[in-house]
A and B are shown apart, each in its own frame.
Chain A
């Protein structure tokens, strides 16, 4: 019974057409591939759709390949220099931030902001402040040494 208005047939065709590309690429399960294959054998219009999609893909595949006259390469010297420059930039920025914090803490310390007897709410943090100052100083020395080593390496190159 071939009836174009049969809702079952129509939905079957719609379902098939929605999966035709996957069918062409063999990206369906074995069961689904088999179902579609059977449907295509029995349905003329779906078969035409299938052939037209196949032709479209074939046309795309036969498009000529593009070739460039340029050869893409990463330039070793440039890359190394850029990496070193970036490293130096990060190191010097971090050193600058650490130095600023250290200066601020030292100013606060000189202004008796952290003294135990002061009226300041930060009073009583004396040893903690000394520890922070020392830590910042060590970090700053390490960072400056790293910058000097990096500069020395660059000069060697």
Chain B
């Protein structure tokens, strides 16, 4: 009866704890959601392509020969991209006000003034981010790049939406590319293989290699003898950009560079033939230090210049004869290049384009051909309308703004019809204006949708995460006594706060309803929890660490979190984690030497040294990210350029299957816990499962490498079945073992002197009068051994979905976990923060060692197909999550074992200790997640946002949520199972 009562009490306390921790998970999720919805700008990429034969507006459909939607003006084009050509570099200045970058590149301004019918020069405004890759996307697709251009090709950098280059290719034009190799990442296979010359864009210290290479090849091409070999030449010069990065703009090296460009362009003008268009432009500008990436005026103000041997261009007003003096006047947007170039070369306008035709290019030499201008504007607007229609069906837009823009389109069309009917040339100027209004409105809608961060949402998200972090820190490290008994109060106040404030949130009128409700609920809940702590303030401890271990834990968490502000520390996170783990191992070695008990000392030193060695061994498994080159060598796959395993790596899962169960058994043997079901599972089930997983990866390699081509289909089926069986062993054998096994105890009977003393044995006299006594084997680690089975079950499932090298790394991780348990036990650190924090570091470290990086491109999507032939929800995403975050999951599962390992069966307050350890573990990831979130938000205009900070933020958020869920629903719930099992024998101890 009493036992029953105790059990009920434990279950209730446990249930409330799970509920409270779930509330923390929800708060994390709300904070992350709110920030993400304001930060991660998503644009859905439409796969549609504009067709030559299908103009968007009625009118004569042309042909590729004469021009698709509109008669073409030029046959061919030479497009010169001078990286970072700022507009003011091209405008002459009086000598006394001139900087080094002035009056060096004069040819553009000079020709635009002297030959206004052949040339024009305009400020060319870039959309942020002003990084070359993003700019090239904008300059060729006519749209605004966002972080997540969600399309069919999620992982690669190649542009798969409609763009100028692919339209040229579809029109069977020969495109030659010279210079910056970024183009090849964006448009693989689009350029003429023979004539194209790509150069590495990486070395910003080298001002001349790329430029000299481009010039060396561009001039022979422009020679009349070679004119028939190509249609479009794209020459991308990098020297000006590199001079900016290296010296800054106001430096003699910049002047020299610009003079060199001046000479190049003058040579080109000389060699140009009558049917070829010459375009010179910058993709972005540079700030006063010569860097770029953000959206300051200096960074977005580039220059655009077009030139033709024949009079093709004009000005709509004599006032516009000279190019604008500053970039504030008469500027055009960079996306305007897309329709302009398309129509000048007779191509269809790329489907996603949002730019408008540039007036100077279509107004005619007389500066009055408004009919032509209105025609091209109408075509562009009609294509934008077509795009907008498609877009509205997949992404929700602001209805009011959209209706207004649609009305503008209607007005413009009406005006066009009226002007055509009246055959009144004078009315087309107005028509042109109306189409421009429509284009501008649509562009503004899209910008609001894609290109502006929602700062209030981001700030409120960060506020929620910060407050939750503080409360979690208090819960984990700042309350004296058993925290598990606080659950009812924390839960009720947190819940009440959420309910009460949701009403307030709903009543707030200013911001969007969803935003205000989320914010109010999360804040209310947080305040409720805070009020609960306030009422317990007598029990609160000062949060400053009191031991060297506490300081170490805090140092690791803080250093790592602060370091994420720097791209270098983010890039080299794996090495930093190794450094931290070795530091812990070294300190635990020293600490073990301090132990008075000889057994503890030896065990502690042994496992500490082992821990460090295993970390270093695991560190040999690397998958380098691009930014780590050339200081990193990938070993995860057969070579740096492949994504298949080397043959020798197939041995790794086999070695793991043979050795790891034996090693884990060693830890069980050490506490005499290798009994009953543990023998069955560790000795047989786990080993067999791991062997099957090794077989799977061998079959996979055989299938991939076509070792037996005639058995391909059979291999595929067989390997899938084997993967399914492996998972079935984990779920069907492992899980039941964990749920229903009796504690791993055994009994030895005999006279007292026959029992050798052992810390894990309990020797009790058999009866009052009997001379014999009973030894209970495994007594000293009954909780730990019982719980740790759960780690091995998860290990089996997670190991299957890792590549062979990853299986090796994850095995080292599992081995390290058990060593850590011993270190913690022998150094009496079960209640310290260091154990859970080291598990977090290990989870993060082995994330890298299982072939991952904080980049989208390192996600191993193919792991979804290990036990399945096709994509199935929810299993496929779950498998990818297990593959990606396998290490973090395994380490999160292991957290309760830190408290339970080598713990006496009747130890009091274990539930509270587990709650504290789990909360500490989560706390580490929460602080990393908050830090990466804040840095990403703060550095939202940083050059490296898209490459480094955003991916790291996304990873931090994902990891936090995954670890949250695993900690609460696997670790804490698992602890209930093992505790109840131990209670069957020893009774419930709260």
Our verdict on whether A and B bind, yes or no, reads no
Task: Name A residues whose Cβ lies closer than 8 Å to a Cβ of B.
Answer: none
